[in-house]
A = this chain, B = another copy of it.
C-alpha cells in the first residue's frame, strides 16, 4: 500500500533557512541544519557517490537510509526544483546534475504552462504539472508501482500536503540550534498529533528526530 511521506529539516525554533541567494540557494543556515544528515554514510553514498564507507552509522544514518528506501515517485514544488531562481532558463534541469539522486519519476508543481518531461540519467524523469495537488498525487501514486510517494519539499509544498490531510508519514530532523528567522516549518498544523502518532528520538549528533505516522 502506497504511503505518502515527507521528510524535513528544522531548527529547534521551527525554521528552515531563508536568505536564499544565487550563490547559496538553500540559505545561509542550511549547512548547520543538515550537518548530522550530511555526515551519515548513507548520505555520502547516495548523494556524494562516496563508496569509501566513511560516514556515521548511528541513529542519523538509520533515518537517512529510511529516507532513500521504498520510494516509487517524488513530488516537489517549483522553488525546490529551482524555477524561482531560474525563471527564464528553458534548459534548466534542476540542481542535481545529469544523474539526480531520485531514480524515480519526479512531479514538479508549477503555476506555469506545462513543459515537456525531461528524462535524466539513473531513472529520474522530471514531469511538470500545474493541476491540483490531489490530482498530481493520484498520478504519482499510480506511477509509484506500489512503493511510497515522497513529497520532497520545499516547506510550503510540504505544508500544503499536510494541511490537506494527504500525508501518512512526516519525519522532521530538528537540529539543536536556534535560527530566529527563516521559513516556518510548523505553521498551521495544530492538532496533527491527534491524527498521527508521534515518536521522538535523539541522535548522537544532537539531532532530534520526530516522526508523525498515521
Binding site for B on A (CB under 8 A): 12-14, 176-181, 186-193, 198-202, 206, 208, 210
Contacts and interface: CB of A to CB of B under 8 A. Distances in A.
Given A13-B189, A177-B193, 10 more contacts: A12-B186, A12-B198, A12-B210, A13-B14, A177-B198, A178-B186, A178-B190, A180-B186, A199-B206, A200-B202
17 contacts: A12-B186, A12-B198, A13-B186, A14-B186, A176-B198, A176-B210, A178-B186, A178-B191, A178-B193, A180-B187, A180-B189, A198-B206, A200-B202, A200-B206, A201-B202, A208-B208, A208-B210
Contacts of A193: 176-178
A14 B180 CA distance: 12
Closest 8 CB pairs of A and B: A180-B190, A13-B186, A176-B198, A200-B202, A177-B193, A178-B189, A178-B192, A14-B14
How many copies, total? 2
A191 B180 contact: yes
A6 to B, nearest CB: 14
Contacts of A199: 206
A73 to B, nearest CB: 27
Nearest to A209: B202
A190 B186 contact: no
A180 B181 CA distance: 17
A14 B177 CA distance: 13
